[in-house]
Chain A
Amino acid sequence: MDRYQWLLVFHMTGAFLLLGGAVFAGIFNVAAMRRERPSEIAVLYRLVRIAVASVSAGMLLTIVFGLWLVADLDYVKWSNTWVILALIGWVLANALGSAGGRREKETRVLAERLASEGDAPSTELRARMRDPLTLALSWGSGVVVIAILALMIWKPGH
C-alpha cells in the first residue's frame, strides 16, 4: 500500500469511529428515553461515554489525516468548495456535539442523584431527556456529520 492508501485508511478509520460512535450514542439515548427508573437511565448514559471516546478519537483522526490528504494530493486544492464546506461542517459538528454532550452530562448526573435517592421515576428527568434543545444539538451534530460524508463522496466544486 502506498502513502495515499495509508492516509485514507486512517482518515476512514476516524470517520467510522465518528459516525459509528454517533450511532452508538443515539441507540443508548433512545433506549434511555424508553426507561423510567433513574438507575437504568444512568446506566445507559454511562454507556454513552464509550461513544464519546469514540467520537472524540474520530474527530481527531478525520481532521489530522484529512488535512494531510489535502496537503499531499496535487489534484485537491484548499480552495475546493467541498474541502472548505467539510472544514466548516467539522467545526459545526464539534460545536453542536460538545454543547449537546454537556447538557446530556447534566442529565446523567441528575439520573445518578435520583437513583441514589430512592430511584423513583421523575418528571424532571423525563423532561430533561426530551429537552428539544439538547436533542437538536446532539442529533443536529449527527446530521452535519452525515452531510460531511456526502460532501466527501460527491465533492461539489471539484
Chain B
Amino acid sequence: MLALLRPDSFNFPLFLHVLGAMTVTGATAAAFVCAVSEPRWPWLRMVLARTLIFATFPAWILMRLGGAWEDSRSPIGDDAGWLGVGYIVADAGFVLLIVAMILAAVGVRRPQRNWPIRTVAVITGLYFAALIVAMFAMTGKPGS
C-alpha cells in the first residue's frame, strides 16, 4: 500500500535503488558460481575478478546511492527495523566487496595460491544470503 501512496518525486531514486539491488544480487550470484567452479576451470578466476569489479561493485554503488537518495526524501521507514537491516547489509557489502575484489585480483596474479579464491567464494556466498534477507526485510517490511 505504501508503494501506491508514494509521491512521484520518490520514484526515480527508488527505481535506481531497486534496479541496483536486483543487479547486485545477480552479479553476486555470478561471482559466487565463478568462485566455486574455479577449482575445475581455473581460467574462471579472471571472469570472477571482472564480474566483481565491473558488475557487482558498480551495482552496489547504484543500490546504495539510490537507497540513500530515496531515504533522504521519504519519511517512510525512519527508525524502522526493516530499514536498519537494509543499511546493515548495504554497508557491510562495501567492506565485503572491497575485500573480495582485492582477493580476486590476488588470485589472478598468483595462480598457485588457492586460498584467495576460496575466501571469495565464502564472502560472495554470505553476501548473497545477506542480500536475500535484506530483500525480504525491505519488501515485506515486517513490524511496520
Check if B140 sits within 8 Å of A16, measured CB to CB.
no
Query: Considering the complex, which residues of chain B in the window 1-20 have a beta carbon less than 8 Å from any beta carbon of chain A?
Result: 1, 3-4, 8, 11, 14-15, 18-19
Contact of B51 among A27, A75, A149 (CB under 8 A): A27
Check if B30 sits within 8 Å of A27, measured CB to CB.
yes
Given A5-B140, A40-B41, A153-B11, answer yes or no on A24-B30 (Cβ-Cβ < 8 Å): yes
B31 to chain A, nearest CB (A): 9
B25 at the interface (CB under 8 A from A): yes
Helix, strand, loop or mixed for chain B's interface? helix
When C-beta atoms are compared, the residue in chain B nearest to A28 turns out to be: B30
Check if A23 sits within 8 Å of B22, measured CB to CB.
yes
Chain B hits for A44, CB < 8 A:
47
Helix, strand, loop or mixed for chain A's interface? helix
Query: Considering the complex, which residues of chain A in the window 107-138 have a beta carbon less than 8 Å from any beta carbon of chain B?
Result: none
Q: Which 6 A-B pairs have the closest CB atoms?
A: A23-B26, A20-B26, A19-B22, A12-B139, A9-B140, A20-B25
* CB<8 Å pairs between A and B, sample of 15: A1-B141, A1-B142, A8-B3, A12-B135, A16-B22, A19-B26, A20-B23, A24-B29, A27-B27, A27-B47, A28-B47, A43-B44, A47-B33, A153-B18, A158-B4
Point out residues on A near B: beta carbons under 8 Å: 1, 4-6, 8-9, 12-13, 15-16, 19-24, 27-28, 31, 40, 43-44, 47, 50-51, 54, 73, 75-76, 146, 149-150, 153-155, 158
